[in-house]
Amino acid sequence: MQHGEQVRLIRRILAHMAAGTTDRGEVAQSPVTRYLSPERLAQEQAMIRSLPVMVCASSSVAQPGEWFTHDLSGVPMVVARGQDGVLRAFINACRHRGARVVDGACGAGRRNFVCPYHSWSYDLDGALRGLPHPQEFPDLDRAKHGLVPLPVIEMCGLVWAVPAPSAAMATAADMRAWLAPMAADLALFGYDRFVAHDTRRFESKHDWKLVADANLETYHFKFLHRDSIAPLFQDNRMVADAFGDHWRITLPKESIVQLQGRPEAEWDLTQHCNIIYYFFPNLMFLFIGDHATLFAVWPRGIGASTIDAITLIPEPPATEKARTYWDKNVNIFWDALMEDFHLMDSMQSTFASGANTHLTFGRSEFCSAAFEESVERHLGGHPA
């Protein structure tokens, strides 16, 4: 983020502090049926597959021959760095009878893909390389039987892919245009060079949208996080900026008062704020100064989601002291975030009871309401 933009954000925060206010929108509602409908869930899953989604950290496929598989979108994908250094993504399915050409989560040193069923082989660029007894397929057009490619790019230290091969966003240029407004902000912090330190995956008992609803507002901080992170942050105060369907939300810490009266040239946002970058549809990227923790939320069923998370740090820890430092930061993050996840489980458990026909978003929860409107728009519906 440019220093000028940091100054503008700090000015907005200090103005809110002086006035006792925060960024606000209008009161809105979200029908409970959005979180209970199997038909709607299928539409949401298809919508997510049509957009760029985070697959893994770039550091996981940094070297030629390294590969990574991803199934959480409902489309089996394999991402691999070719011997030419180019990163590519494919549907993980043999073009003969459809078996997966790669088993396992990740690996290194690969020079090709070989289907375990009949040994059809593919180069890392996806081209069909060979097959046993080619006389069995006298009219086979090999050029049309390579692995099915998927759009893939690297930005912010992450690999992004579009899982649906027929999606409208079918080129790297489309993807870069979609991500660029916020990715440019993060690029200046250097996250495109960071490496994965901690990865984790776990299941939750709530609709995937509740994660955005919860993490795009600070109204709950003082209460839910009273024994963890709440004392660090100002109560119910944020500044929020929309980048299309994406959001950047700046969360001021109590320490920002130290900047009052100091020259703007000395202002450093990273010392006194956390920043949430929400990449629509399903990625939360929390900027914490010298590192970031991010997680993608994948709908798995009614009231069921899978969370896929990565912590990015500047370089692999070279000492035990460094490892302890990063592990401590990871634990602080997840201790606080699991408080949110437990409450989201609680919310989901009441939706079918009939107690509420809708959820209500207050004026300071307007980003949560805007996220729900974005989902509606991409599904072809109308905002509440």
**Which pLDDT does position 382 carry in this prediction?**
46
Q: Is CATH 3.40.50.170 the right assignment for the domain spanning 3-51+167-379?
A: no
How far apart, in Å, are the Cα atoms of 356 and each of 29, 30, 209, 224, 304?
11, 10, 17, 21, 20
Helix axes 366-379, 38-49, angle to 10 degrees: 90
Query: Residue 298 and residue 209: Cα distance in Å, rounded?
Result: 9
| Annotation: CATH topology of 52-148 | Rieske Iron-sulfur Protein (2.102.10)
255: tokens are 């320490």
Q: Is pLDDT at 25 greater than 80 in this prediction?
A: yes
What's residue 192's pLDDT? Answer: 86
CA distances to 50, 112, 276 from 151, in Å: 11, 20, 26
The domain spans of the chain are 3-51+167-379, 52-148
What pLDDT sits at residue 171? 86
Instruction: Report the pLDDT averaged over residues 191-209.
Output: 94
Q: Within 10 A of 30 (CB to CB), how many other CB atoms are there?
A: 23
**Looking at residues 99-121, what average pLDDT do you find?**
96
Residue 233 has pLDDT above 50, yes or no: yes
- The band of 170, judged by pLDDT with boundaries at 50, 70 and 90, is confident
Across 230-249, average pLDDT: 96
Summarize the confidence of residues 118-142 as an average pLDDT: 96
Instruction: For 254-290, write each residue's pLDDT tens digit.
Output: 999 999 989 999 999 999 999 999 999 999 999 988 9
Instruction: Output b/e per residue, 79-88; b: 16+ Cβ within 10 A.
Output: bbbbeeeebb
CA distance 80 to 147: 12
3-class SS of residue 220? coil
- Residue 381 pLDDT class (50, 70, 90 cuts): low
What is the band of 20 on the pLDDT scale with cuts at 50, 70, 90?
A: very high
Nearest CA among 322, 332, 96 for reference residue 231: 332
> Which tens digits make up the pLDDT trace of 36-70?
999 999 999 999 999 999 999 999 999 999 999 99
Tell me what the pLDDT averaged over the chain comes to.
95
pLDDT at 384 over 60: no
Q: Give the confidence band of 181 by pLDDT, cuts at 50, 70, 90.
A: confident
The answer to whether the peptide bond before residue 281 is cis (omega within 30 degrees of 0) is yes
Angle subtended at Cα 42 by Cα 41 and Cα 47, rounded to the nearest 5 degrees:
95
pLDDT at 347 over 60: yes
Give 282-322 pLDDT, tens digit per residue.
999 999 889 999 999 999 999 999 999 999 999 999 999 99
